[in-house]
């Protein structure tokens, strides 16, 4: 069994994430290839596509949201993602157990003691009546129906427990940090089609296999724990075991078993990787349990200082080399270690290219 170096794994990831070279594929095709695009803060998803697609502009994604071909909702790891509408219809039912697990956490259950989860969903859907409400209004009405309980937490629990899609304006460019303006609509009403239904355990198993194939196409080669960390599902080892005949096997530098699609090509580890600026919560940093192919454990402490934080980063030679931020029109670059002069120049040039996209006025450096 071939052992792949960290550099070989890095170049495979960069290639499959369109970070070795920008692609001329459409935003819909790229979102589909990546399975789903992290979108806690709507603007960051736009930056992620800018870093991957040649000539990408904001209206290209906004139009997909307005046309309901891309939707924003809770998905992988119970967090907000953008996904192609057809993918969302198939994936959300498969991942519902992950969201249910989050909805059953103490943060929610302390507020809903004695309230049947199915009744809460029924109440929320009844209040929505197939239409749209802001999260704030849904919370207010649920609180009226259940006095003494926090309506915001009830609304969040309902959103986890049944597929609710965010309105197009919620995910559009310019809605940075305005979470109170999020609107929700039952997914089947928003999409005009019912969610996919898995009729049997065998059907669910086949759906899980397809999810693993798509994960490997975007993040492979990878191990079972990597896939589980990415999507939140458990017991995927059993699924992968059934797929062994169709998958190629490798080892990582620490001897862990990795899997990949049989026909997936690996780029030459010597392939140059250009500098790239990645948004907060970028897929590249969240796609594996072992993230050393793209970021060291020491650097990870600076980039991911808390469970719910992943700072914007920049890549040099395919690996995280620092963070960046926007502050009063300035795009500030903060290296984690000294940069060689050519890398510093290339990074500054890439940051200058990003400035008009994010509405910045200048590039600054932090020591």
pLDDT tens digits for range 25-40: 999 999 999 999 999 8
Predicted local distance difference test score (pLDDT) of residue 328: 85
Domain boundaries of the chain, sorted by first residue: 26-191, 295-365
Q: pLDDT, tens digit, for every residue of 46-59?
A: 999 999 999 999 99
Q: pLDDT, tens digit, for every residue of 122-170?
A: 999 999 999 999 999 999 999 999 999 999 999 999 999 999 999 998 8
Q: pLDDT, tens digit, for every residue of 62-88?
A: 999 999 999 999 999 999 999 999 999
Q: pLDDT, tens digit, for every residue of 215-265?
A: 999 999 999 999 999 999 999 999 999 999 999 999 999 999 999 999 999
Rounded Cα distance, 300 and 305, in Å: 8
Predicted local distance difference test score (pLDDT) of residue 110: 96
Predicted local distance difference test score (pLDDT) of residue 203: 80
| Dihedral pair phi/psi, residue 117, rounded to 5° | -55, -40
pLDDT for 96 beyond 80: yes
C-beta separation of 184 from 165 below 8 A: yes
Q: pLDDT, tens digit, for every residue of 167-222?
A: 998 888 875 555 557 999 999 999 999 999 876 777 889 999 999 999 999 999 99
Rounded Cα distance, 22 and 354, in Å: 14
Predicted local distance difference test score (pLDDT) of residue 175: 57
Q: Is 158 helix (H, G, I), strand (E, B) or coil?
A: helix
pLDDT for 367 beyond 80: no
End-to-end CA gap in the chain: 44
Predicted local distance difference test score (pLDDT) of residue 199: 61
Q: pLDDT, tens digit, for every residue of 315-347?
A: 999 999 999 999 888 999 999 999 999 999 999
Predicted local distance difference test score (pLDDT) of residue 146: 96
pLDDT for 276 beyond 70: yes
Cβ neighbors of 263 (< 8 A, separation 6 or more) are none
Q: Is 320 helix (H, G, I), strand (E, B) or coil?
A: strand
pLDDT for 16 beyond 70: yes
Cβ neighbors of 155 (< 8 A, separation 6 or more) are 124, 135, 138, 139, 142
| Dihedral pair phi/psi, residue 177, rounded to 5° | 70, 0
* 23: DSSP letter: B
What is the DSSP code string of 49-114? HHTTBTT--HHHHHHHHHTTSEEEEE-GGGSEEEEEHHHHHHHHHHHHHHHHHHHTSHHHHTTSTT
Q: Quick one: tokens of 343?
A: 């890398």
Predicted local distance difference test score (pLDDT) of residue 238: 96
What SS3 string covers 201-265? HHHHHHHHHHHHHHHHHHHCCECHHHHHHHHCCCCHHHHHHHHHHHEEEEECCCCCEEEEECCCC
Share above pLDDT 70 across residues of the chain, in percent, rounded to a whole number: 98
Q: Where does the pLDDT of residue 297 fall: very low under 50, low under 70, confident under 90, or very high at 90 and above?
A: very high
In the beta sheet, which residues pair with residue 71?
Answer: 83
Q: Can you tell me the mean pLDDT for 11-32?
A: 98
Q: Where does the pLDDT of residue 95 fall: very low under 50, low under 70, confident under 90, or very high at 90 and above?
A: very high
HSE, side-chain direction, 13 A CA sphere, residue 293: 30
Predicted local distance difference test score (pLDDT) of residue 180: 57
């Amino acid at each position: 069994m071939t052992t792949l170096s960290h550099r070989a794994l890095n170049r495979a990831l960069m290639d499959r994430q369109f970070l070795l070279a920008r692609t001329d594929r459409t935003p819909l095709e790229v979102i589909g290839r990546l399975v789903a695009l992290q979108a806690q803060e709507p603007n960051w998803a736009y930056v992620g596509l800018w870093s991957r697609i040649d000539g990408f502009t904001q209206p290209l994604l906004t139009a997909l949201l307005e046309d309901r071909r891309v939707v924003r909702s809770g998905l992988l790891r119970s967090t907000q993602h953008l996904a192609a509408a057809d993918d969302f219809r198939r994936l959300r039912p498969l991942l519902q157990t992950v969201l249910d697990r989050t909805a059953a956490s103490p943060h929610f259950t302390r507020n809903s003691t004695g309230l049947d989860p199915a009744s809460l969903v029924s109440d929320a859907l009844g209040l929505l009546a197939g239409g749209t409400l802001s999260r704030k209004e849904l919370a207010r009405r649920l609180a009226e129906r259940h006095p003494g309980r926090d309506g915001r937490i009830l609304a969040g629990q309902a959103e986890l427990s049944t597929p609710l899609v965010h309105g197009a304006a919620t995910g559009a460019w310019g809605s940075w940090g305005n979470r109170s303006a999020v609107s929700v609509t039952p997914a089947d009403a928003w999409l005009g089609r019912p969610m996919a239904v898995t009729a049997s355990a065998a059907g669910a198993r086949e759906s899980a296999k397809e999810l693993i194939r798509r994960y490997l196409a975007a993040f492979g080669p990878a191990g079972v724990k990597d896939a589980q960390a990415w999507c939140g599902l458990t017991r995927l080892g059993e699924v992968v075991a059934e797929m062994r005949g169709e998958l190629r096997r490798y080892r990582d530098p620490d001897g862990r078993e990795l899997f990949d699609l049989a026909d997936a090509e690996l780029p030459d580890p010597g392939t140059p990787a250009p500098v790239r600026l990645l948004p907060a919560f970028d897929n590249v940093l969240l796609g594996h349990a072992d993230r050393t192919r793209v970021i060291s454990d020491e650097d990870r402490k600076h980039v991911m200082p808390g469970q719910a934080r992943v700072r914007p980063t920049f890549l040099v030679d395919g690996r995280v080399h620092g963070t960046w931020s926007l502050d009063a029109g300035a795009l500030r670059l903060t290296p984690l270690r000294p940069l060689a002069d050519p890398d510093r120049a290339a990074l500054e040039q890439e940051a200058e290219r990003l400035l008009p996209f994010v509405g910045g006025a200048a590039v600054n450096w932090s020591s």
